[in-house]
Chain A
Amino acid sequence: MTMDRRTVLGLGGAVAAGSLLAPGVYLVAAPKPPARTEVKAGRRWAMLIDVNRCSPDCRACTQACRTENNVPLFGDPERDIHWIRKVEIRDKSHKRPSITLPVLCNHCEHPPCKHVCPTAATFQRQDGLVLVDMHRCIGCRYCIIACPYKARSLVYHETHLPEGGNPKVPIRGKGVVEKCTFCVHRLDAGEEPACVEACNRDGDKGMIFGDLNDPESTIAKRVLEAKTTTIRPDLGLGPQVYYKGL
């Protein structure tokens, strides 16, 4: 088989373009949602956040979360709802520069919020996600007190689907507790959470998401090879949001 000069150059260019893409990012068309999905046991969804890459003024993840999940902002800091929020850590002695990092629900292996829930509205799915069944929640707020990560918020006001909101995610009624779901509707459709996607597209490319139980996944390899930590590991809750460089 012979190839002319033009074909060879074109092939080389295509290979170079392919290898330039960020690792873990694939150019595929958005798939049609599968006809039927069901949770598979044995999976362990987890997130790895590289704190060194997270810049103080970037809000890609929090913005994407609000748009994707129709999380309203009421303008009252006491009652605003946050599924993911940026936290700044300052060293009081000023020896180290302050760092910022996103904090969200850690989807603990032993979730205290689930254990205190009187109506079993908070539950753990087979793949480890800790979710709230809004149809059962009575808004008692025990879970808000139990959660050490301040990941939960009570809906204090009536909410409405905002203009241009996402119709795939129902809004939450007044008087229930809501929190990050790791974008469960996207996971079930085979996509990544919106914050991770936004971070890798518009932000500092510091978030990785995947199945920790799959030894071939990027996150499993990175958690093994890099020094990572979780927030308050001493509590023994088995949080699934890992931080690198904290």
Chain B
Amino acid sequence: MAWFRPVVVAMALLAVLFGGAGGPEAGASSLGSGPPGGGSQGGPQLAKAKGDACVKDRAWMRRNHMDFLKHRRDETVREGIRIRDESLLNCQSCHTSRTEFCDRCHSFVGVQPDCFHCHNYK
């Protein structure tokens, strides 16, 4: 049965190669692969976040992050309410690159938020 061994090894290699690359969460999370509630199939590839979990679940964040930040913005400026976990600075600790996270989606849907004209985000 020695002739059978290379065939098995080759099949296993092929399975690893194609199975690994085709997985939905391999290296980058795609907008289309998440739960229903945001994005469509074939959306932009976003950089994988560093931390374990976001402050809100993914679908909610996709739909509402802009209202979330804007609402906090007025509260922070006027009433000094600063919540460490919900600040733009804290977003950066997990989503480290603006060009590979924020900008990819913003340019895909064609919006130009002007937050980053003044607020620093690497």
Contact = CB atoms under 8 A, between A and B. Distances in A.
Nearest to A167: B120
Interface in A101-137: 123, 125-127, 131, 133-135
Contacts of B79: 38-39, 125-126
A37 B81 contact: yes
A188 B82 contact: yes
Given A36-B83, A36-B84, A173 B117 contact: yes
Contacts of A35: 83-85
Nearest to B77: A133
B7 interface: no
B118 interface: yes
Given A34-B84, A35-B83, A170 B77 contact: no
Interface residues of A, number: 25
Contacts of B74: 133, 135
Contacts of A133: 74, 77-78
Interface string A35-72: 11111000000000000000000000000000000000
Interface of A, secondary structure class, is loop
B78 A134 contact: no
Nearest to B116: A170
A236 interface: no
Contacts of A126: 79-80
A146 interface: no
Interface of A: 33-39, 123, 125-127, 131, 133-135, 161, 165, 167-168, 170-173, 184, 188
16 contacts: A33-B82, A35-B83, A36-B81, A36-B83, A36-B84, A37-B80, A37-B81, A125-B78, A126-B80, A127-B80, A131-B77, A133-B77, A133-B78, A165-B120, A170-B120, A171-B120
Given A35-B84, A131-B77, 12 more contacts: A35-B83, A36-B81, A36-B82, A38-B80, A39-B81, A133-B77, A170-B120, A171-B120, A172-B118, A173-B114, A173-B118, A188-B82
